[in-house]
């Protein structure tokens, strides 16, 4: 099997509204959300299910209730049984990887049109019992029920919140919020800067929601013929922050409180802080819930096809995939990985950072975004701050305001990018980039078609 050079394009896509943790979409499983997104994109593009060669889905919180959720979702959505399907787990860049994988399948001649995206229901992440079934108390469900009162005290059995477990890196033993505070301390990013950045995200997301930008690609989530959720929840839950910005400063700090002081944080993370020392009265904690992304539920999907197939089917071609880059860094500094992935993607595309007209940057934390601004400018000829000031970055709001349904976010960034570029004829080149737990970074460069 040989690769055949050809143009690979994006022919639109849709996503569900993003539901906040334990709110609007909390009762629905990730396969339900992905089914809705697939049905939505088929309806929006008038694409026949028979034309789909495969469905590729990212999913972080993988569980046994939907083994190979891509396959489960496509069958629930009425895509033909013959279609290929596989599921990707690359944390927050999972759906970026599905787009790159769809490209690879197309140039290798395995198919001509794929649905690529991601889904997540953080509201239904399970609690787990960790232990060996060699232990008679865990031999079966009946045994667990019988011994339930004794299980929490057993040394070789652990009751686990898979959300907290999944958001903690097992190599460096550090959770994602802590990686943001580490970046803030290393790059001297103040809380005030982070709050200002977060306010920008909330403000622009609300403006985009109200102006109708998200109507171009957000389809209501429906069940039994009734609308469950019509628009993203979190921007409106935080609407008061835009009208009263001083509220941002009232959010409690994550790493400086009565039970855990910033000095403790410095002691626990000394190996990651690159020689930075805690100075009493001078060193300040910075990361809060308001300048960090929210836990969320949602699904997103894009139509990825060969140019030839897209034209044959009469699809609306929005962008050509020019290049991508994936790059790994130390998990403790996962937040700045977009700098490295972007550098690689731009090199492959034969472009420079200044060639980019629109950028969608995953806002895991304001601290990591602002650290990217510093690292990119100082060492990689990437002037992120200038691009941000010019309105090129997250012009319609970002993850801090919209929420972060993990594996769905990469495709969400690309949807913002393709529909933003489509609405502005001056935007020729665009970039979507994200960091991911484990130190991974992903970046995809698109050209307006």
Q: Which of 204, 272, 362, 404 is catalytic?
A: 404
State residue 86 phi and psi, 5-degree precision: -150, 160
Residue 1: pLDDT band with limits 50, 70, 90: confident
Q: Which residue has the higher pLDDT, 153 or 115?
A: 115
Cα 357 off chain centre by: 21
92 in active site: yes
- State which H helix or E strand residue 341 sits in: helix 337-349
183 in active site: no
Which DSSP string corresponds to 212-276? Answer: TGGGGTB--EEETTEEEE-S-SHHHHTHHHHH-GGGGGGSPBTT-SSSS-HHHHHHHTGGGTTT-
Which DSSP string corresponds to 164-215? Answer: HHHTEETTTTEEHHHHHHHHHHHTT--HHHHHHHHHHHHHHHHHHHHHTGGG
Burial of 127 (0-12, 13-18, 19+ CB in 10 A): exposed
Q: How far is residue 235's CA from residue 239's CA, in Å, rounded to a whole number?
A: 6
Which DSSP string corresponds to 32-98? Answer: HHHHHHHHHHHHHHT--GGG--EEEEE-SS--TTSSSHHHHHHHHTT--TTSEEEEE-BTBTHHHHH
Distance separating the N- and C-terminal Cα atoms of the chain: 29
**Mean pLDDT over all residues of the chain?**
97
**Residue found by looking up tokens 């979190």 in the block:** 234
Q: Which residues contact 85 (CB under 8 A, 6 or more apart)?
A: 54, 55, 56, 57, 68, 70, 71, 73, 74
Residue 81: pLDDT band with limits 50, 70, 90: very high
At residue 277, the pLDDT reads: 96
What tokens appear for 47 in the block?
């694409």
Tell me the β-bridge partners of 20.
Answer: 296
11 in active site: no
Burial of 245 (0-12, 13-18, 19+ CB in 10 A): middle
* Mean pLDDT confidence for 47-68: 98
DSSP state of 123: G
- State which H helix or E strand residue 99 sits in: helix 94-107
At residue 304, the pLDDT reads: 99
Read off the pTM. Answer: 0.98
What tokens appear for 7 in the block?
């143009």
328-337 per-position pLDDT tens digit: 999 999 999 9
Q: How far is residue 373's CA from residue 357's CA, in Å, rounded to a whole number?
A: 17
Q: Which of 11, 20, 92, 362 is catalytic?
A: 92
**Nearest 5 degrees, angle CA 412-CA 417-CA 422?**
130
Question: What percentage of the chain reaches a pLDDT higher than 90?
Answer: 99
194-251 per-position pLDDT tens digit: 999 999 999 999 999 999 999 999 999 999 899 999 999 999 999 999 999 999 999 9
């Amino acid at each position: 099997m040989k690769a055949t050079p050809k143009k690979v394009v994006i022919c639109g896509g849709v996503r569900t509204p993003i539901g906040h943790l334990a709110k609007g979409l909390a009762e629905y499983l990730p396969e339900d959300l992905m089914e809705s997104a697939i049905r939505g994109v088929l309806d929006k593009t008038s694409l026949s299910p028979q034309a789909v060669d495969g469905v590729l889905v990212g999913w972080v919180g993988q569980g046994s209730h939907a083994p190979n959720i891509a396959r489960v979702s496509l069958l629930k959505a009425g895509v033909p049984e013959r279609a290929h399907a596989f599921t990707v787990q690359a944390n927050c860049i999972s759906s970026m990887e599905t787009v790159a994988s769809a490209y690879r399948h197309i140039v290798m001649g395995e198919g001509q049109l794929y649905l690529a995206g991601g889904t997540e229901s953080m509201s239904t992440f399970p609690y787990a019992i960790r232990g060996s079934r060699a232990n008679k108390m865990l031999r079966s469900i009946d045994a667990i029920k019988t011994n339930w009162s004794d299980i929490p005290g057993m040394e070789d059995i652990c009751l686990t919140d898979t959300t907290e477990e999944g958001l903690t890196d097992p190599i460096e033993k550090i959770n994602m919020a802590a990686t943001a505070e580490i970046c803030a301390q290393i790059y001297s990013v103040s809380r005030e800067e982070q709050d200002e950045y977060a306010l920008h995200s909330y403000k622009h997301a609300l403006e985009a929601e109200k102006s109708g930008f998200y109507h171009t690609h957000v389809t209501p989530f429906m069940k039994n013929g009734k609308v469950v959720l019509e628009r993203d929840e979190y921007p409106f839950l935080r609407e008061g922050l835009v009208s009263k910005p001083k509220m941002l400063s009232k959010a409690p700090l994550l790493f400086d409180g009565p039970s855990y002081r910033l000095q403790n944080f410095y002691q626990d993370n000394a190996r990651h802080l690159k020689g930075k020392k805690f100075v009493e009265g001078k060193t300040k904690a910075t990361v809060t819930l308001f300048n960090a992304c929210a836990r969320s539920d949602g699904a997103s999907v894009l139509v990825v096809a060969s140019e030839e197939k897209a034209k044959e089917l009469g699809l609306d071609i929005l962008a050509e995939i020019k290049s991508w880059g994936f790059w790994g860094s130390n998990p403790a500094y996962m937040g700045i990985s977009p700098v490295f992935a972007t550098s690689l993607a731009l090199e492959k595309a034969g472009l420079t950072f200044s060639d980019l007209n629109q950028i969608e940057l995953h806002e895991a934390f304001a601290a990591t975004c602002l650290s990217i601004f510093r690292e990119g400018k100082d060492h990689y000829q990437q002037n992120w701050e200038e691009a941000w000031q010019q309105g090129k970055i997250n012009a319609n709001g970002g993850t801090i305001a919209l929420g972060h349904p993990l594996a769905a976010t990469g495709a969400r960034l690309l949807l913002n990018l393709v529909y933003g570029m489509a609405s502005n004829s001056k935007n020729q080149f665009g970039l979507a980039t994200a960091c991911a737990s484990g130190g991974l970074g992903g970046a995809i460069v698109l050209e307006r078609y």
